A and B are shown apart, each in its own frame.
Chain A
Amino acid sequence: MTGLAYLIPVALFLGLLGLAAFLWALRSGQYDDLDGAAHRILFDDEDRPDG
C-alpha cells in the first residue's frame, strides 16, 4: 500500500501537466484556426519564425 503514496501523486501530476499544456495551447490561440493549421503543415517555406 505504500506504493499508493507516490503513485497517486505521480499520476495526478502527469494528468495536471497535460491539462496545463492544453490550457496553455488554448490560451495562446492554437485552437483558433484549425482549418488553417491543417494546411500550414504543407507550406514548405515557413522555416523561419514569425516576424
Chain B
Amino acid sequence: MAEVAAIPTSRGPADDVVDPEAYVRVDAKGVAHLHLLVENLHCGKCVQAIEGALRPRPDVTEARVNMTTRRLALSWHAAAAGAAELLAPVTALGYRLVPFNPAALESNAAEQDRMLLRCVAVAGFAAANVMLLSVSVWAGAFSDDMGPATRDFLHWISALIALPAVAYAGRPFFRSAAAVLRRGATNMDVPISLAVLLAAGMSLQQTIVSGPHAYFDASVTLLFFLLIGRYLDRRARSRARDAAEQLMLLGAVAATVIEPDGQRRARPVGAVRPGMVVAVAPGDRLPVDGRVRTGRSTVDTSLVTGETMPLSVRPGTDVFAGTLNLDAPLEVTVTAAGEGTLLAEIVRLIEAAAQGRDRYVRLADRFSRVYAPAVHLLAAGAFGGWLLFGGLAWQPALMIAVAVLIITCPCALGLAVPAVQVVASGRLMRRGVLVKAADGLERLADADMVVFDKTGTLTVGRPELTNRRDLSDADLTIAASLAVASRHPLARALSRAAGPVPLRDGVRETAGMGLAAPVDGGEVRLGNAAWCAVTATDETASGSELWLRRPGAEPVRFAFEDRLRDDAAAAVDALRRRGLAVELLSGDRAPVVAAVADRLGIAHWSAACLPADKVARLEALASAGRRVLMVGDGLNDAPALAAAHASMSPAEAADISRTAADFVFQGRRLTPIVETLDLSRRARRLVLQNFALALAYNVIAVPIALAGLVTPLIAAVAMSSSSLIVTLNALRLRRGGIRAEPEAGR
C-alpha cells in the first residue's frame, strides 16, 4: 500500500541552484564575467579553498572572493568552458553558490562609503598641513618675533589648502544640512556646516585684511574629526545592509519544474506559476506552497511553525514553502508561488512590523534635537549682542559668533558615540555575537522584558534519545544499524546516540512509517507504532517515539525529546535577576510548551502561536509600555523579531530570522544573550557619560567664547582635548570583563 523509496537518493548540484549561464556577461575581448554569492563562507580557509579550486585552471583570469560581502568575482575565457563546468569543483567542496547581477544590486551605498573615505583622507591631509602652519603662527605670536608679512604668508598658504579641502570634504554635511533646511527643520549638520563655512569664510576675510587670527585649522580639524565619526557610524550600518541584500539573493533559489512533456527544468522561483508541477528531492526545501500530487514522505516544518516533530504527507496534503522534505521524492502541484506563498506573507509581516521600529530615535539624535537649536541661538545671540550692545563692528562680532559655533560644535559627540558603538561591536564579535542593527545596542539596553521562542532557541532544536538507560546495548545497536539509512530526525537522533554502527544489508524505508531489513526468521522493523504493530501507546507521545520489533521478541520503545540548551535555565535566571520579565511564545503544541515553561520556571507562556499571533502579542506588550527583547530562530518568529523593541537570533536560525534580528549569536549556549545585554547597558552608560562630559566642557568654554576671549589656539586646544577625553572614555569599554555570571556556565 505504501510507496517504497530506495535510499539514499543523490542529486546533482545543478538541481537546486539557478543556472548561472543566464548571469554571465561576456565582454568585447571574449572574457566572461560572473558574480556569485557564496552562501556558507565562514573564514579565511574557505576563501583559500574556493580560490584554490578555481585559479589553477589556465582559462580562469580572475577568481577573487570578497570575505566581507561573501561574494565571488569570476572571469574566464568564455570560449574555454561553461560556467556550470567551472563551478563544479567549488560546489563539490560543499559551497552553495547563487549567481546575481551586480548592476541590479550595487546600490550607490558602496560608492557613498568610498566617497566618505575620500573625504576623510582629504580632510586629514588638510588638517595635518594647516595645523603645521598654524603652530608656526602661534609660536611666532608667542615669541613675538614673527613679522606680519610672514604671518600673512602662512595664512595665505593655509587658505590655499583649507578652502578646497572644506569645499570637497564638507559635502556630506552640506548636503544633509541643505536637505533638512529645505524641509524647514534642523539637525546637527546645520550648525556643523555653518561653523565650518563661517570659520573658513571669516578667516579668508581676516587674511585679506591682514588680521591676526585665522581659524582655518579649526575649520578642517572639525571636519576631519566629524568625518571619522560619520565613517565609523556608516560602517556599522553597511553591515546591516549587506545582510539584507544577502537575503534578497537567497530568494533566487530554483525550483525543478516538471514540464508537460515530462522534462525537468530548473527555473527561478519567480517564474513558477500556480498549476505547475514541481519535483522536490529528499533533503531539499520546498520552493513553493502546494498540494502533494505523488509521493509519500515526511516534512520538517520546524522552521516555519516551530513544531519539533516532522509531519507525514501523502497525495492531497498541503505543504508550504520553506519546509524541508525528509524521506522521499515528492511531486507537488503549485498552489501559490513567489508573492502568494506563506514565506512572502511572512516577509510582508516583517516589513509592516519593522516600520514601527523606525520611529525609534537614537540617543544622539534626541540629544541633538535640543542641542542644535540651542547652539544656533547662542551664536546668533553672541553676534547680535556684540553688534548692538557691545559696540563692535560686524566683522569682529561675527568672529565671536564663529568662535562660539566652533567651541560648541559636537565634534566630541560625533566621534564618541560611534567610537562606543565600534568598540562594543568589536568586543561582541569576538564573543561570537554579530551586531546587525546600528542602533541595536541602544534599544537592547532599554529592554525590560524578554520573550523566547521554544524550538531551536531555548531547546537545541532537534530530538534526542531520552530513555537510553532503559535500553540494552544490543537493542540500540540493532536499531541504529537500520536508523543510519534514514534522514528522519528521530532516526538520526538514534544513530547519534548509538555512535558509529555499520549499515545493515537490505534496509528499505517506507516513507511515513519506518524501516525494515531481513534477518533470520523474518524481518526486523524500526518505525512508528503502527509499523511495528504496537497498539497500546500513549497518544501524546506519538511522533516522539520509535519502536523496534524483532521476530520472536517484545517490541522495544525509544523515546525522544527536544532537549533544553545546557545553560537555558541559568540564562533565564540571569535575565530575571537583571530585572527582565520572561515569557515564552511557541508554535508548538501546548503540553510540550508547558513542560519547558515549567522546567525553566516561566509563568507566562502561549502555545500554538501563528506568526501573526506572536506579532499581536508583542504589539500588545509594547502598547502596555513594555520594551521587549525577542529571541527566536524560526521563520515563524521573523515578524516578531522585527516587531520587538530589540531582537536576537541564534546563528543556526532561518536566514530570514537572522536578517530580521538585531543581533545574531553563535554557539550552543544562551549566555551570549546575557553578555550582550550587559555590554549594551555599559555602552549606554558610557554614551551618557560622554554627553555629560561634553556639556561640562561647554559650560566652561562657552562663556569664554561669548566673552570674545577665544583665539584660534584656545579653540584648537579645547576642541582636541574634549575629543580626546570622550574618545578615551569610550575606549574604556574595551577593558573590564563582560560580567557573564560565572554560574551561567554550569
Contact = CB atoms under 8 A, between A and B. Distances in A.
Interface of A: 1, 4, 8, 11-12, 15-16, 18-19, 22-23, 26, 31-36, 38-40, 42-43, 45, 50-51
Interface string B46-73: 0110001001000011101111110000
A8 B62 CA distance: 44
Nearest to A51: B61
Given A18-B125, A31-B117, A8 B157 contact: yes
Contacts of A11: 129, 132
Given A26-B117, A40-B47, A43-B48, A51 B62 contact: yes
Nearest to A22: B121
Contact of A26 (B48, B67, B114): B114
Contacts of A23: 118, 121
Interface string B456-484: 00000000000000000000000000000
B425 to A, nearest CB: 13
A15 B129 contact: yes
A38 B703 CA distance: 48
Interface string B23-57: 00000000000000000000110011000100100
Contacts of B67: 33, 35-36, 39
Contact of B125 (A16, A38, A42): A16
Interface in B104-128: 114, 117-118, 121-122, 125, 128
Contact of A33 (B68, B118, B132): B68
B391 to A, nearest CB: 38
A36 B128 contact: no
The range of chain B's interface size is: 20 to 34
A15 B128 contact: yes
Contacts of B117: 26, 31
Given A26-B118, A33-B66, 5 more contacts: A11-B129, A35-B68, A36-B65, A40-B44, A51-B61
A27 B19 CA distance: 32
Contacts of A4: 150, 153
29 contacts: A1-B150, A4-B153, A8-B133, A11-B132, A12-B129, A12-B161, A15-B125, A18-B125, A19-B121, A19-B122, A31-B117, A32-B68, A33-B66, A33-B69, A34-B68, A35-B67, A35-B68, A36-B44, A36-B65, A38-B44, A39-B43, A39-B47, A39-B67, A42-B44, A43-B44, A45-B48, A51-B60, A51-B61, A51-B62
A45 B47 CA distance: 13
Interface of B: 43-44, 47-48, 52, 55, 60-62, 64-69, 114, 117-118, 121-122, 125, 128-129, 132-133, 150, 153, 157, 161
Given A15-B129, A39-B43, A50 B118 contact: no
A43 B65 CA distance: 14
B553 to A, nearest CB: 56
A34 to B, nearest CB: 6
A19 B125 contact: yes
Contacts of A26: 114, 117-118, 121
A38 B426 CA distance: 15
Nearest to B133: A8
A1 to B, nearest CB: 6
Contacts of B114: 26, 31
A31 to B, nearest CB: 7
A13 B67 CA distance: 36
10 A-B pairs with the lowest CB-CB distances in the bound complex, closest first: A39-B44, A36-B67, A33-B66, A19-B125, A35-B67, A35-B68, A33-B68, A22-B121, A51-B61, A15-B129
Given A11-B129, A11-B132, A36 B66 contact: yes
Nearest to B153: A4
B56 to A, nearest CB: 10
A48 B66 CA distance: 19
A26 to B, nearest CB: 6
A34 B68 CA distance: 7
Contact of A50 (B43, B64, B121): B64
A39 B43 CA distance: 8
A29 B128 CA distance: 25
Contact of B62 (A33, A36, A50): A50
B434 to A, nearest CB: 12
A13 B221 CA distance: 20
Nearest to B52: A45
A33 B44 CA distance: 12
A40 to B, nearest CB: 7
A32 B238 CA distance: 12
Nearest to B157: A8
A22 B446 CA distance: 41
B137 to A, nearest CB: 12
A34 B238 CA distance: 14
